[in-house]
Structure 1
């Protein structure tokens, strides 16, 4: 294997580890945009908007909200940690496959005769 191949393989393995294990320790708190969008609204214990006037009142579900990998988990897997891990690993592998495929298509072809 060439040196560059080892680098790509190592990067893929580190990314799979982060997506499959470390992602389960990410904060469940809303990010800055989520937090700012609910300013001015009244929320109940389940974080649902019950009144007031804020940006989030106009929010709608994404068109892919019912997809198998929506909400950082895998639909049908009851264990939250396993669901997040499998969704993360699946996302990394799909991204790597698409990116690698595009790279393979656009790279320059090498000739058999190098000189």
Structure 2
């Protein structure tokens, strides 16, 4: 399988999981919330600074259907992370030095003539 085909299939599967399967995720609170409920300090919790953001609580603000709202939030999250990670990879990737032999033989010939002198 080619690399492009692999990444295309991986992207489609990821979008399906984020957009469709995420609706069937557990509705129970996460571990920290569960412990806070069990130990009795859940009422002292405060909303996060991002509680009013467009994708807060794994939902998309302005979308009334819970299934579509959650799926859309998942797909937006995948796309944002893909763009950020691709951009970061592009910024930190290794670049070839300008004087590297590119397989055309010109650099090898130049080095051979320099060593003869």
Q: TM-score under structure 1 normalisation? A: 0.78
Specify which of 57, 62, 67 is matched with residue 81 of structure 1: 67
Name stretches of at least 5 consecutive residues in structure 2 with no aligned partner.
104-117
Encode CA deviations 1:15-55: one digit per residue, 9 max, x unaligned.
10100000001111123321111124xxxxxxxxxxxxx23
| CA deviation after TM superposition for structure 1 residue 94, in Å | 0.2
Which structure dedicates a bigger proportion of its chain to strand?
A: 1
Per-residue deviation, 1:11: 1.5
Q: What RMSD in Å do the two structures reach over aligned CA positions?
A: 2.0
- Matched residue, 2:87: 101
Q: Residue 73 of structure 1: CA displacement?
A: 0.7
Q: Does 1:26 align with 2:14?
A: no
Matches within 5 A, 1:27-66: 27-40=26-39, 54-66=40-52
* Superposition misfits of 4+ residues, deviation over 4 angstroms: 110-113
More helix by share: 2
1:113, CA displacement in angstroms? 6.3
Separation in structure 2 between the aligned mates of residue 89 and residue 29 of structure 1, nearest angstrom: 22
Q: Distance in 1 between matches of 2:38 and 2:59?
A: 27
Consecutive unaligned residues of structure 1, counting only runs of 5 or more, are: 41-53
Deviation for aligned residue 1:88: 0.4
